[in-house]
Amino acid sequence: MASNASSASGSRPRRDEERPWYTILEPHASLRYVGKLFKALAIGLFLLLLAELGIGIAQDGIDALPLLLLEVAQLVLFTGLMWGAGDLAYIVIETNHDVRASRVLLWQLNMLQRMELGDRASSVDPIDPDRPITSE
């Protein structure tokens, strides 16, 4: 069907780079990878926290608790920051999906308006500020 439309208009078939949605639909593999990386780092920090607690209590017993509480607070903070950074990467991906969907909808509405208007008022000449439109 697409080949019939392109041959009927007399133009050659479009390559993917020339299609209007090609620039809109770009993959987010790298950003998704960064999100997974931050979440994996957060899990690694949490495992490090558990290992540090176990080793500290095994070596020094209850006497290690004041120092361990400081270390726990730092590692919990960094774990939360890493997990939050991973979530932010996913939020950026979802936000970009919404923006791209809006662009596609706007493009479709524009094409629909052009199809409905046809030759009537489909092009508007720009106004020259030196010669404003006056009613005569």
The share of the chain scoring above pLDDT 90, in percent, equals 29
pLDDT at res. 76: 93
Tell me the per-residue pLDDT of 8-47, one tens digit each, with 9 for 90 and over: 445 566 565 555 555 555 567 778 888 999 999 999 999 9
Higher pLDDT, 102 or 45: 45
pTM: 0.56
pLDDT at position 4: 46
Of residues 47, 48, 26, 50, the one with CA closest to residue 100: 26
Question: Using one digit for the tens of pLDDT, what is the confidence trace for 46-86?
Answer: 999 999 999 999 998 888 888 889 999 999 999 999 999 99
* Structure token pair of residue 70: 């400081």
Amino acid in position 19: R
